[in-house]
């Protein structure tokens, strides 16, 4: 049971379960998704799920690890650009991609509904796969003099946080609901990766 946690899932049925569970957990959260929902989506039966995962929490943790490794690979690719601004834009594009999950919700759920041991696993994965690539770009940006004023760790946290916000406000489905005030009037492109990097680098003060 426990050593299974540390090695990758290879059984095709287990992968099928994880990939069926991912959009559910990421949209509705941990408790709102029942095991029944997952087995319906994965088109299996309950004991099959419990053959591969010891309980609901382990399924969630494995799903989280799967997700972070996936996104981590994309982030790694995004650091290949030549300039810092280019790399940041590529990173932002990955973080804002529609199919990529809301990492803010993931962080909340893993701190709220996952036990200490598994939480530690997820936190480490978050750092290794998501945070570290971003931090590397920031460190390089500071070294080459493009960035300044804050240490790489803080810059990375800010960048990730901003991407969470842009990710949320950029979802059309939700923007449609938002159409009471001014927020509803703007279109998607203004909340894209370029805008985010622009805000990150230059701020919004007049004349910058």
Q: Cα–Cα distances in Å, from 53 out to 10, 73, 152?
A: 13, 25, 38
Tell the residue number behind the tokens 């509705």, with chain if given. 28
Contact status: 172 vs a copy of itself (CB under 8 A)? no
- Residue closer to a copy of itself, measured from CB, 15 or 136: 136
Contact partner at residue 123 from a copy of itself, DNA, none, CB < 5 to 8 Å by partner kind? a copy of itself
- Residue closer to a copy of itself, measured from CB, 9 or 85: 85
Token pair listed for 203: 């701020």
In this structure, the dihedral spanned by the alpha carbons of residues 175, 180, 183 and 184, taken in order and rounded to 10 degrees, is: 50
- Residue closer to DNA, measured from CB, 47 or 145: 47
Q: Is 149 left (phi over 0), alpha (psi -120 to 50) or beta?
A: left
Rounded Cα distance between 106 and 94, Å, is 16
State the residues that interact with DNA by CB under 7 A. Answer: 11, 13, 31, 33-37, 44-48, 50-51, 54-57
Which of the ranges 7-15, 48-56, 60-68, 178-186 carries the binding residues for a copy of itself, by CB under 8 A? 178-186
Contact status: 161 vs a copy of itself (CB under 8 A)? yes
Minimum CB distance to a copy of itself, residue 93 (Å): 17
DSSP per-residue codes, 159-174: HHHHHHHHHHHT-HHH
Tell the residue number behind the tokens 């059309």, with chain if given. 172
Contact 126, 68 (CB under 8 A): yes
- Residue closer to a copy of itself, measured from CB, 14 or 196: 196
- Residue closer to DNA, measured from CB, 60 or 126: 60
Contact 106, 131 (CB under 8 A): no
| 97, 108, 117, 143: residue in contact with a copy of itself (rule CB under 8 A) | 108
Positions that interact with a copy of itself (CB under 8 A): 27-32, 102, 104-105, 107-108, 111-113, 119-120, 123-124, 127, 131-132, 135, 145-158, 160-162, 164-166, 168-169, 174, 177-178, 180-183, 185-186, 190-191, 199-208
């Amino acid at each position: 049971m426990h050593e299974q946690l540390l090695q990758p899932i290879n059984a095709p049925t287990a992968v099928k379960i994880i990939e069926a569970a991912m959009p559910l957990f990421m949209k509705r959260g941990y408790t709102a998704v029942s095991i029944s929902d997952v087995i319906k989506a994965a088109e299996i039966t309950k004991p099959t799920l419990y053959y591969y995962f010891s309980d609901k929490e382990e399924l969630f943790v494995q799903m989280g690890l799967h997700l972070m490794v996936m996104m981590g690979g994309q982030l790694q690719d995004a650091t290949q650009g030549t300039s810092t601004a280019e790399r940041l834009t590529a990173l932002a594009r990955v973080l804002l991609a529609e199919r990529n999950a809301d990492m803010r919700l993931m962080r909340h759920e893993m701190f709220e509904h996952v036990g200490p041991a598994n939480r530690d696993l997820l936190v480490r994965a978050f750092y290794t796969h998501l945070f570290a690539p971003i931090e590397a770009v920031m460190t390089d940006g500071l070294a080459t003099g493009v960035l300044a004023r804050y240490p790489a760790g803080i810059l990375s946290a800010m960048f990730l946080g901003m991407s969470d916000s842009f990710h949320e406000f950029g979802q059309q489905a939700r923007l449609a609901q938002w159409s009471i005030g001014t927020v509803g009037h703007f279109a998607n492109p203004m909340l894209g990766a370029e805008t985010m990097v622009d805000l990150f680098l230059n701020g919004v003060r007049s004349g910058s």
